[in-house]
């Protein structure tokens, strides 16, 4: 059953009005966490009004999920993609129209959207400290050099060529590789960023990138809940890759997100 949603236009965003699809299956909107969701698609997908199973998972777990159209106006290029996403996050933190005073604020994304979520979390630490309660990185695409051991599985999933094309498109110029918001895994200053939930799977080509970034966050003193799901959950399909296994990852995402929200509430006393 798909989570209910409505189409809205977010007025007052710094970068200009942004179209968004808001998923909400929460019984109590006044305390439901608010999640800015950034979709995957290898920095190449600019489609709107299509199925967003990860966003629906988070809504099913009790969140108000804002699937904002940041990729269309930014054309998935750095730094505009970060600027648009950050603008929406700042709007949500400032307006709080969708939830209530006790609603926690998160940014979430899978694959290339996980990269954007990590970059936005860094920018939020620098630009609006204390406003972002957590970041949810689901199989994040973090390393433009694509040199990890697990990345060898990309050929098996049929994603290597697409990710190569996507990184070239997103960065656009060599200097972008060095910017911490564009490639968070190479950021030298991670202290003070929002707590993170990092999810991947044993058969995920992006597994090592996610694990490595989670470990670096921990070393910087950031609270991290990191989970590596067993192989066979159909995980590569989360970012459009091939898998012979039946997708069973939605329930795992719901459970992990619910536990993460509970932990954040305990830490913040809300």
From 40, 47, 57, 77, select the one nearest 241 (Cα to Cα).
Answer: 40
| pLDDT band (50, 70, 90) for residue 204 | very high
CA nearest neighbour of 183 among 166, 195, 205: 166
Determine the pLDDT at residue 49: 59
Give me the phi and psi of 137, to 5 degrees please. Answer: -110, 110
Q: What is the CATH number of the domain that holds 225?
A: 3.40.50.1820
Full domain range(s) for residue 83:
5-268
pLDDT value at residue 122: 97
Question: What percent of the chain stands above pLDDT 90?
Answer: 67
User: Residue 258 has which token pair?
Assistant: 């619910």
Q: Which residues pair with 103 in a beta bridge?
A: none
pLDDT level of residue 44 (50, 70, 90 thresholds)? very high
* 8 Å CB contact between 181 and 122: yes
* Three-state SS sequence of 198-218: EEEECCCCCHHHHHHHHHHHH
- Cβ 204 vs Cβ 150: under 8 Å: yes
**How many structural domains comprise the chain?**
1
């Amino acid at each position: 059953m798909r989570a209910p949603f409505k189409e809205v236009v977010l007025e007052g965003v710094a970068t200009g009005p942004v179209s968004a699809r808001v998923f909400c299956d929460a019984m109590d909107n006044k305390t439901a966490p608010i999640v800015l969701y950034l979709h995957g698609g290898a920095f190449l997908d600019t489609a709107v009004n299509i199925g967003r199973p990860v966003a629906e998972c988070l809504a099913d777990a009790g969140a108000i999920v804002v699937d904002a159209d940041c990729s269309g106006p930014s054309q998935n290029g750095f730094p505009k993609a970060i600027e648009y996403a950050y603008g929406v996050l700042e709007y949500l933190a400032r307006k709080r129209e969708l939830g209530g005073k006790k609603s926690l604020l998160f940014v979430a994304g899978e694959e290339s959207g996980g990269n954007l979520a990590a970059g936005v979390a860094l920018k939020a630490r620098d630009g609006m400290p204390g406003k972002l309660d957590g970041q949810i990185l689901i199989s994040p695409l973090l390393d433009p050099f694509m040199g990890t051991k697990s990345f060898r599985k990309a050929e098996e999933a049929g994603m290597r060529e697409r990710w190569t094309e996507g990184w070239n498109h997103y960065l656009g110029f060599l200097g972008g590789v060095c910017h911490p918001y564009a490639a968070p895994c190479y950021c030298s200053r991670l202290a003070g960023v929002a707590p993170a939930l990092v999810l991947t799977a044993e058969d995920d080509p992006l597994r090592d990138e996610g694990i490595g970034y989670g470990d670096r966050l921990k070393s910087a003193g950031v609270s991290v809940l990191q989970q590596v799901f067993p192989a066979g959950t159909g995980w590569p399909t989360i970012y459009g890759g091939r898998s012979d296994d039946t997708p069973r990852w939605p329930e795992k995402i719901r459970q992990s997100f619910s536990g993460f929200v509970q932990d954040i509430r305990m830490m913040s006393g809300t």
